[in-house]
Each structure stands twice: as C-alpha cells, then as structure tokens.
Amino acid sequence: MADTATTASAAAAASAANASTDAPPFQLGKPRFQQTSFYGRFRHFLDIIDPRTLFVTERRLREAVQLLEDYKHGTLRPGVTNEQLWSAQKIKQAILHPDTNEKIFMPFRMSGYIPFGTPIVVGLLLPNQTLASTVFWQWLNQSHNACVNYANRNATKPSPASKFIQGYLGAVISAVSIAVGLNVLVQKANKFTPATRLLVQRFVPFPAVASANICNVVLMRYGELEEGIDVLDGDGNLVGSSKIAARHALLETALTRVVLPMPILVLPPIVMSMLEKTALLQARPRLLLPVQSLVCLAAFGLALPLAISLFPQMSEIETTQLEPEIARATSSRTVVYNKGL
C-alpha cells in the first residue's frame, strides 16, 4: 500500500509539471503509445530500436535509473516532466535487461540490430557470391540473430543452453543448405542469360533466411507447444496454460520472422538493378558498394519496426477458441498471452 501511495503521489507531481506539454501521463513499466493499433505499436518499436540510445553515457544511464527509482518511491524532485520520465524509461529499457538488470552488449541490443546488422545484409546481397562467401555470410547472419535472441531472452525462468544451441545449429544448417542449393540450381539453369542469372542469385538470400528464421523459432520454442503458455484475464490474473495459445504465439512470431527479411532482402536487389543502369554508377562503379549499403540501411530501418509491429506483444484471443478448461476457469470473454518477439 505504501508503494502504491508513493507512486500515486509521484504521478500527481509529474502531472502537475506537465500541464503544458503534449507527453501522455507517465506509467512506470508501460508503453508510451497505445498497443491496440498498428500505428501505436509502430511508434513504440521505433523507440525500442532508436540507435541514439547506443551513445548514452554511463552517467546518463545512472541518472535515468535513479529518476525512475525516485518516481517509484514518490521522491521526485519538483519540475520533472512526463517527457523526462518517458525518456528515462526508454534509456533504461534499451540498455538494461528487464529481468537481470544487467547491461546488454551493444551489438546485441534491439537498438543495435540495424547498425550492426546492415553490414551483414550488404554481405548477403553481394553479387557473384562464391560457395565460401555464401556459407560465411549466412553463418554470420544466423550467429548475429542467435546472439540477439539470447541477449534479449526471457530470463525469469532458467532455460538450458542446449535449447539455444539446438535453435542456432538448426538455423545455420537450414540457411546454408538452402542458399547453397539454390545457388547451385541457378548456376545449372542453362535457360538463364548471365544477366538474368545474376539477378535471380540476388534473391537467393531471402528464402534461405526466411526458412532459417522459422526453423530457429520452432526449435527454440518447441517446448511451448508441448507445455503451453500462460494466458491472463483482463486484470492480469493467471487463468491457466494453453497449448492452443502457444500455437497462435508461434505462428504470429514465425510470420513476423518471414515478413522481416522480405523488404531487407527483396527491395535492395530490385532497387540496385535499376540504379546500376544509371549513367552515374556506370561511370563510377566504385560507388556501387556505398550506394548498396545505403539502400540496405534504408530497407532495414523500415522493415524492422514494420515487421515487429504486425501483432501486439500481448495478443488477445477468445476463450471459446482455447481448451475447455481455460474457458471454464474464467468469466472473461477474451484472454491475453505474450507472443514473444
């Protein structure tokens, strides 16, 4: 009760200081933007992947954490605005793991996914790939994905390292085998002209990466299909564990992982095939790699927030679609579950 009272008084103090600002009232641990609409989720994930948080100093991080602690305990100094509180929460969530409160290694933060992942995308889309370079870039891409997944995992329950290794190996093997297999098929296709063969080869990374992403999700989260995932009522109370909800969660996550690489690995080859015909790039072929890097960066920056905004983090499902025991355990018409990222 004391914590509730102090938080309420802190909220009142912050609201008084924000009478003239546009920032919504601050809620500790809650998203700034409404999650019921695609636009709200898009704005929310733009905050999460904001690369500017990579440059936050240790001192600024400590100040942000302290400000949130002051809010929690009702000891905010006068004049602190909602905007300052939202900014402090954004910094903390971008840098510290929510379960362990430890700093996430910079390349594996969600805010570092685009800047550190773009060079890998450029490598995946390089023309005239050899067998060795195809294997290398697919391996590097899946290794980076695995590290990001592990660094941002749910750490509330201990999970065996074997599960992550299994998912990682499955993703690498599927990505490399599909990419190499498709490249060999394209090389042996006698009907293709050299120009057409080069264009088709540029699209090979997409089916390889998309298949590997699905493989990774299924292998790493297969246990959820066997044991089910927690479903909650509208008040946040645990209703039970549902295998049907787990299937929905995995399907939504897998679909997100297929949509994510689509603009990243499909748009740049199309754009570059047009740009390469321009007089500028034909006269200055050295500009090809920098231009391709910029195109990949733009596609990555657009694709990531769009893909992860497709479904709410906390998805809703009607109890009539779930197991009979779940429907009997609650009077709510719908329940929610955490689909994961």
pLDDT in tens, 214-242: 887 777 777 777 778 888 887 778 888 88
pLDDT at 13: 47
Banded model confidence at residue 20, pLDDT cuts 50, 70, 90: very low
Sign, Cα dihedral of 296, 300, 303, 306: negative
Residues 6+ apart with CB under 8 A from 62: none
Q: Which two tokens stand for residue 110?
A: 């969600």
Which one, of 90, 75, 94, 100, lies nearest residue 26 by Cα? 90
Query: Can you tell me the mean pLDDT for 118-146?
Result: 87
pLDDT at 9 over 80: no
- Collapsing DSSP to helix, strand or coil, 317 comes out as strand
Q: Say whether pLDDT at 341 is over 80.
A: no
Q: What's the pLDDT band for 53 if we cut at 50, 70, 90?
A: very high
Residue 17 has pLDDT above 90, yes or no: no
Residue reference for tokens 């694709």: 303
What strands lie across the sheet with 314-318, from one edge to the other?
238-242, 229-232, 334-338, 314-318
The residues, ordered by sequence, that sit 6+ positions from 219 with a Cβ below 8 Å of its Cβ are 163, 166, 167, 170, 171
Asked if residue 316 lies in contact with residue 335, where contact means CB atoms within 8 angstroms, the answer is yes
pLDDT confidence of residue 108? 92
Q: Which residues contact 324 (CB under 8 A, 6 or more apart)?
A: none
For residue 154, the model assigns a pLDDT of: 61
Please, are residues 26 and 11 in contact by the beta-carbon 8 Å criterion? Answer: yes
Q: Of 53 and 319, which is predicted with more confidence?
A: 53
Q: What percent of the chain has pLDDT over 90?
A: 18
Collapsing DSSP states into helix, strand and coil, what is residue 239? strand
Read off the tokens for 269: 């080859």
- Residue 196: both structure tokens together: 């057409």
pLDDT tens, position by position, 320-332: 888 888 888 887 8
Angle CA 215–220–224, to nearest 5: 115
Say what the pLDDT of residue 19 is.
43
Question: Does 300 score more than 70 pLDDT?
Answer: yes
Q: How confident is the model at residue 340 (pLDDT cuts 50, 70, 90)?
A: low
Give the number of other Cβ atoms within 10 Å of residue 77's Cβ.
Answer: 9
Percent of the chain residues topping a pLDDT of 70:
89
How much is the average pLDDT of 307-316? 80
Tokens describing residue 183: 């490249």
Owner of token pair 């500028």: 280
pLDDT class of 25 with cuts at 50, 70, 90: very high
Alpha carbon dihedral 181, 186, 188, 194, in 10-degree steps, equals: -150
Query: For the chain, how far is it from start to end, CA to CA, in angstroms?
Result: 34
Among the listed ranges 154-158, 160-164, 178-182, which one has the minimum average pLDDT value?
154-158
Sign of the torsion formed by the C-alpha atoms of 253, 254, 257 and 263: negative
Supply the pTM of this predicted model. Answer: 0.75
pLDDT tier for residue 56 given thresholds of 50, 70 and 90: very high
Does residue 1 surpass a pLDDT of 60?
no
Q: CB of 149 within 8 A of CB of 164? A: yes
Confidence of residue 57 (pLDDT cuts 50, 70, 90): very high
DSSP character string of 135-166: HHHHHHHHHHHHHHHHHTS--SS---HHHHHH
pLDDT at 312: 76
